[in-house]
Amino acid sequence: MKKSILSAIKIYLDSWRIPQVRKKLLFTLLILLVFRLVVHIPAPGVKTEILQSFFAQNQFLALLDMFSGGTLANFSIAALGITPYINASVMFQLLGFVFPAIKQLREEGEYGRQKLAMYTRLTTIPLAVLQSFGMYALLRSQTIIDNLSLPYLIAFVLTMTAGTALLLFLGELINQYGIGNGISLLIFSGIVSRYPVSLFKSLAVASGQNVFGLLAFVLMSLGVVGGITFVDEAFLKVPIRYARRSKRGPMSQESYLPLKINSAGVMPIIFALSLVSLPQILGRFLGQVKMENLAGFGQNLADFFAVNGLAYSLFYFVFVIAFAYLYTTVVFNPKEVAENLRKSGGFIPGVRPGISTEKKLNFLLSRVTAAGAIFLGVIAILPALSQRATNLSTLSLGGTGILIVVSVVLELHRLLENLVQTWRYQNYF
């Protein structure tokens, strides 16, 4: 344990000494600083005092604010955050199962991924426009914003859409010139910025209510962090043998293929949240219309899918598992891996190369992914479980937020470790 901590500290120190890596780190920090400044630039015409009170009483909007990177509660010029981009990504992931052209693009390597990324960004803009209108309707219904004339409404929608485009641009800059995934880092910085206040509030409430709640809060936090770290690093070793010829005759070289338990990372939770939040958004929108029957239906729909309620937790759990399998098929293709093994002379002991290897990998992947998907589902509904266990509503964002933070930190650690190892290897020779 002590050795691993010292090794991690050495990697961070070495990464700061390497000029190329230091430049990437400084650029990433600069972009995150710009993002945090954008968060505090308020949109005109919004009554921030009423808005903050409204958010304090609404767990659903607080959950959306977390995934917007903290831009929604302040209602900055980027109040929509990257939610339209996430929705567009989900849309193209699902359309890939319906339209063969999209599925073919996904399988065309780097060129196909770039084309899909371009289509996703283009789709983000009209989605941002629609969500801007929806946000205006919600704020107007709560008297947080006054009725706007058509020119001011157009300016409002364009401002919100431009804010989302700006965040996408900042994320792309991190992808190209910084280190790590830009979108994940923006969400990460928004969550981390709110943790100190949320932590002290939770501790204050827990200590004021009962000692058991405080102890349960501390133990649950440590358990979640440890469990996420363990599952994120865990993988199944699939033995691989390579046939080689030498002067002494045929030889075999042994290796292994790692199948990660959580290959999809945090993306299934982000995708699932975008779907499970739709009934809440639709219900609250319909609840404000003047038709009594439609308004009643909207209110019932919003109440049925109340955050951390039974229906919300159940659908959230199922969606996370479904997206975990879906996203795993995107990041790991058994057919392609089996073909590459066959071309390189590799095989799984006891399994024939080709189709048999593909079936074996599919069998192993489905079972490994099941463990990771169930774990992600439990993390997603952890807020509901924690509230029932400790009676602390301030823990509502714990599981999902901690998962994103830990996953991003581990990913950054792996990237820095690879860069440092490459630098050491180049300087050794």
User: pLDDT for 269-289, tens place per residue?
Assistant: 777 877 777 777 677 666 666
Residues 6 or more apart from 330 whose CB is under 8 A from it?
93, 106
- Considering all CA atoms of the chain, what is the largest pairwise distance in Å, rounded to the nearest integer? 87
Q: What is the mean pLDDT of residues 100-125?
A: 82
Q: What is the pLDDT of residue 82?
A: 82
Average of per-residue pLDDT across 183-206? 73
- Three-state secondary structure readout of the chain: CHHHHHHHHHHHHHHHHCHHHHHHHHHHHHHHHHHHHHHCCECCCECHHHHHHHHHCCHHHHHHHHHCCCCCCCCECCCCCCHHHHHHHHHHHHHCCCCHHHHHHHCCHHHHHHHHHHHHHHHHHHHHHHHHHHHHHHHHHCCCECCCCHHHHHHHHHHHHHHHHHHHHHHHHHHHHCCCCHHHHHHHHHHHHHHHHHHHHHHHHHHHHCHHHHHHHHHHHHHHHHHHHHHHHCEEEEEEEEEEEECCEEEEEEEEEEEECCCCCCHHHHHHHHHHCHHHHHHHHHCCCCCHHHHHHHHHHHHHCCCCCHHHHHHHHHHHHHHHHHHHHHHCCHHHHHHHHHHCCEECCCCCCCHHHHHHHHHHHHHHHHHHHHHHHHHHCHHHHHHHHHCCHHHCCHHHHHHHHHHHHHHHHHHHHHHHHHHHHHHHC
The arithmetic mean of pLDDT across residues 223-231, rounded, is 80
What would be the CATH architecture of the domain defined by 196-413? Orthogonal Bundle (1.10)
* CATH code for the structural domain at 1-178: 1.10.3370.10
Looking at residue 192, its pLDDT comes to 81
Is the predicted pLDDT of residue 396 greater than 50, yes or no?
Answer: no
**pLDDT the model gives residue 139:** 75
Contacts with 243 (C-beta within 8 Å, 6 or more apart), sequence order: 250, 251, 252, 345, 347
Q: Which residue has the tokens 């229906």?
A: 311
Amino acid identity of 412?
A: L
pLDDT of 266 > 70? The answer is yes
Per-residue pLDDT reduced to its tens digit, 251-260 = 567 788 888 8
Over 90: is that where the pLDDT of 28 sits? yes
pLDDT of residue 246: 52
- pTM of the predicted structure, to 2 decimals: 0.75
Instruction: Tell which wins on pLDDT, 297 or 182.
Output: 182
- Annotated domain spans of the chain: 1-178, 196-413
Q: Report the range of poorest mean pLDDT among 7-16, 165-174, 309-318, 370-379.
A: 7-16
Q: 360 vs 76, which has greater pLDDT?
A: 360
Higher per-residue confidence, 299 vs 101:
101
Per the model's pLDDT, the better-predicted residue between 346 and 70 turns out to be 346
- Tens digit of pLDDT for each residue in 145-158? 778 788 888 888 88
The yes-or-no answer to whether 1-178 and 196-413 have a common fold is yes
Q: Which of 75, 81, 70 is nearest to 44 (CA)?
A: 75
Mean pLDDT taken over the chain: 77
List 242's β-bridge partners, or say none. Answer: 253, 346
State residue 229's pLDDT score: 80
Q: What is the distance between the alpha carbons of residues 14 and 168, in angstroms, rounded to a whole number?
A: 31
Mean pLDDT of 391-395: 52
Contact (CB, 8 A) for 76 and 40: yes
